[in-house]
Amino acid sequence: MKIAVTYENGQVFQHFGHTEQFKIYEAAEGKVVSARVVETGGSGHGALAGFLRGLGVDTLICGGIGGGARSALAEAGIQLYPGAAGGADAQVEADFDDDEDDEPAEKAAAPAEMGELKLTPRAKKYMKDNGIAAADVSSIQGTGFQGGITERDIKASPLARKLAEKTGVDLSTVQGTGAGEKIMKKDVERAAAAAASSGSDELQIASVVPYKGVRKIIGDKLAHSKFTAPHLYFTDAVDTTNLTAFRKQLNENSEVRIAVSDLLIMAACKALKKFPGINVTLKEDQIVTYKSINIGTAVAGDNGLVVPVVKNVQNKSLTDVAAESKDLVARAKEGRLKPEEYSNGTFSISNLGMFGIGNFTAIINAPEAAILSVSSVRKTPVVITDENGEDTIAIRPMMNIQLSVDHRLIDGLLASQFVEYMKQLLENPVQILM
């Protein structure tokens, strides 16, 4: 079985007739076994329908689509799921989840005109926006006022509607997890179970969402890293007095705003040059040391944790890094990064200072061998030794840094030298640019 999704930057593209890419999924036994992105090589619904037929596609998931395109796909024998939005992979997974529960397809209904149907205004708009023909909803039993067909009715699968009637679940209160937020049987089952438990002494559930998509990918990667690579940790405290003053001075003359994270990237680059044994990965039975210094910074976006990578930092200036990093982070938060922009990293930095975290331990971003965690700046009493060797206590802005390393590749001595050099650079930031 082959499933095609209109595709752009990991998302479902919303205009079928203008899509420049499809993501093609090969499926067997209810699971995706492979996926690839293909260029369309044509435009217009007729050409695109023929293109999909030539690839042997059985099913299309898309956003908006017109009547002519629907006819062309029907002639090509391609099943259509319009009105999808969000991540392409998530929509395909949701489609599979419901396939197991679907009843045999109903016989094609006689053509129906929009005026013959009792539709709510929102339902009419939804059909218009997503190119849904009246014939496709003529068999739906409406749950609205006096049997009117609502937007939720259209977005619910036949089996979900039947189960909702049986269990008394109000579809307007159910959040769909299928393509285009389509309400599946499992969504109604969760809503029914939650309603049954309310008012009892049993544990009440606010919501249940599938553990899949980006969240599952991140979880699987972290679990593999944590339980495959023996982690070893090295922590030190950094006095940020000079770092703060240096950054302020830079921003007085820089056309690009310099962030603390930019100075961290540049400092890490210089430290990796001095200690290349940190800039390594394990590939099969070989320890690979890289000349390229590609540094990733962990960013929390709408679709989960992403680590955009600044490539070849060793060849770039501070302002180059600042401009590139700012662009990458902004697009990462919006879910617009290309795969190559968050891959091929050799070292990562996880900075939670802006969230007020005093100290934390980061899990290595496999297949890299090390990650630096950076905590918030806090005023702390510290012992200061003056030029005469006299000790005094002073209040200083202190920041914890911690290096997590794969102990299979990196020994404790090397890791401790790296951390101490990072401390030296951050406390004497002029050295970062020397």
From CA 51, how far away is CA 326, in angstroms rounded? 39
Residue 61 is encoded by which pair of tokens?
A: 């998931």
Find out whether 367 and 243 touch, Cβ atoms under 8 Å: no
Report the length, in residues, of the chain: 434
| Structure-block tokens of residue 115 | 């005026």
Which of these is catalytic: 99, 102, 170, 411? 411
CA-to-CA distance for 228 and 230, rounded, in angstroms?
6
Contacts of 156 (CB under 8 A, 6+ apart): 164, 171, 174, 176, 182, 183
| Token code pair at residue 16 | 């079928």
Q: Which helix (H) or strand (E) holds 127?
A: helix 121-129
DSSP SS3 for 307: coil
- Which residues in 130-216 belong to E strands, given as ranges? none
Q: Tell me which residue of 230, 309, 316, 238 sits closest to 270, measured CA to CA.
A: 316
Catalytic residue among 18, 136, 231, 407: 407
Task: Decide if 269 contacts 279 (C-beta within 8 A).
Answer: no
Count of alpha carbons within 13 Å of 189, Cβ hemisphere only?
9
CA 219 vs CA 38, 222, 224, 225: distances in Å: 28, 5, 9, 10
As a whole number of angstroms, the distance between CA 64 and CA 16 comes to 6
45 given a catalytic annotation: no
Structure tokens at 33: 């076994």
* CA 314 to each of CA 100, 160, 318, 399: distance values in angstroms, whole numbers, following the listed order: 52, 56, 10, 25
Tokens encoding 168:
């008394």
How far, in Å, are 126, 220, 321, 372 from residue 280 at the CA level? 52, 22, 22, 14
Active site residue 411: yes
In the DSSP assignment, the letter for residue 144 is S
Q: How far apart are CA 293 and CA 255, in angstroms?
A: 25
In angstroms, how far is CA 396 from the centroid of its own chain? Answer: 38
- Residues involved in catalysis: 407, 411
